[in-house]
Amino acid sequence: MSAVSVEEHAAAVEAMLAALGTRTAQRIPLAEALGRVSFEDVRSPVDLPLFRNSQMDGYAVDSRSVATTPVTLPVSTVIAAGPTEAAVLASGSAAKIMTGAPIPDGADAIVPVEDTTVPTVGSVTIERGRAAGAFVREQGSDVRVGTILIEAGRALEPRHISVLAAVGFAEVDVRSRPRVAVVTTGAELVDAGSALTPGQIYDSNGITLAAHLQASGAEVVAVARSSDDPSRFREILDEAAQSAELIITSGGVSMGDFEVVKDVLRPLGGHFGSVRMQPGGPQGMTMFDGIPVLSFPGNPVSTVVSYIMFARNIVRKAAGLSPVLPRTASLHEPVVSAPGRRQLLRGRLRDDGRVELVAGPGSHLVAALAWADVLIDIDSDTTELAAGTDVEVWPL
């Protein structure tokens, strides 16, 4: 792989990751299903409402007995919501009833409590009658048994979880998530939270890639870190390949002396070279023991830009999520760009809808990345753009 375009490399990556798109069903507790994607159409196993019940606190009556009002009726029974025997309304009486309680046979309307008075204990005066069907929730009036509640391929939101619970599902079949391992490399890296010695920095790429992967619907099976020692890196890869369907590495792919990722994977058939983009030029891809390995450069901005340009939408598609697509925004300020490479500049969308640049192009500017919310995509032939020009921006 010598210098190739972003499109060429993206196509090669997509081909290498094709198997990621074949998913199986996974049965999980409903309580863990938020954000997961339904595997197949889900049909209701029951009618909803499950039984005919009252929409109001009030009195269940035969509508004919309240056709002329006011009328006073004996109260034959009180029906609360909850387990109860099937009741029958005694002819010419009213049954006091609570919202959600089953309506007794013989009653066909509910008179809300607001439209009644109690003249003596054991009777009720109906001040305003109700026609047949008033405040009666019929069985199956919401959904009939067998109706599709949720189509295959839906990312489950709280409203979907709600209906699944309402029809009695404790579990749901969802699309299995692509299993991805992240391996960062660099002798200089230590965990955030530990003490630094001179020359050390905190490893931010591991947790960053993991967060991006989770946001894309992946299951992150490991976040590991290797020194620049080839045998250590190889050990970590071997282990990651046990559980992952995709391994993403960061660092060790450029032109320095200790490029552990390139040094280990190239002899195993890996392709390492340069993509005509900035940041994120050095890229690698390898089939390692049947597991695809994508290798991104280690600069934190380069790593994120690489993920967005080459992996995010593939992972999202495998996970069953919709792609994140670029949108158009007009430049708030002029932009200059070096020719021959596609530039992905950090930008921020303003309240006026325009996009402004955030800091400079340096791929080590991790704080500027945090302040940005889009990547401004400048194609490789463009060297200058005036303020007001429409550009494509990728949501970060």
Residues that bind Mg ion (CB under 5 A): 186, 251-252, 298
Q: Is residue 58 within 8 Å of residue 116, measured between CB atoms? A: yes
What's the rounded Cα separation, in Å, for the pair 119 and 140? 37
Using rule CB under 6 A, residue 256 touches ligand AMP: yes
HSE-up (13 A, CA, CB side) for residue 205 = 33
Using rule CB under 6 A, residue 286 touches ligand AMP: no
Which of 279, 300, 320, 347 touches ligand AMP (CB under 6 A)?
300
DSSP label at residue 325: -
Which of 44, 63, 250, 337 touches ligand AMP (CB under 6 A)?
250
Q: In angstroms, give the least distance from the CB of 224 to ligand AMP.
A: 11
What's the rounded Cα separation, in Å, for the pair 279 and 300? 10
Using rule CB under 6 A, residue 365 touches ligand AMP: no
Size of interface with ligand AMP, in residues (CB under 6 A): 18
Q: Closest Cα partner for 34 from 244, 217, 222?
A: 217
User: Looking at this protein, which amino acid is placed at residue 164?
Assistant: L
Using rule CB under 6 A, residue 188 touches ligand AMP: yes
Q: In angstroms, give the least distance from the CB of 159 to ligand AMP.
A: 39
What's the rounded Cα separation, in Å, for the pair 256 and 270? 18
Residue 18 or 192 with smaller CB distance to ligand AMP: 192
What's the rounded Cα separation, in Å, for the pair 206 and 45? 44
Helix (H, G, I), strand (E, B) or coil at 171: strand
Q: In angstroms, give the least distance from the CB of 39 to ligand AMP.
A: 35
Q: In angstroms, give the least distance from the CB of 1 to ligand AMP.
A: 17
Which of 76, 176, 205, 337 touches ligand AMP (CB under 6 A)?
205
Q: In angstroms, give the least distance from the CB of 152 to ligand AMP.
A: 38
Count CB neighbours of 264 within 10 A. 24
Using rule CB under 6 A, residue 299 touches ligand AMP: yes
Q: Which pair of structure tokens corresponds to residue 195?
A: 């003490």
Site residues for ligand AMP per CB under 6 A? 184, 186, 188-189, 201, 203-206, 250-252, 254, 256, 297-300
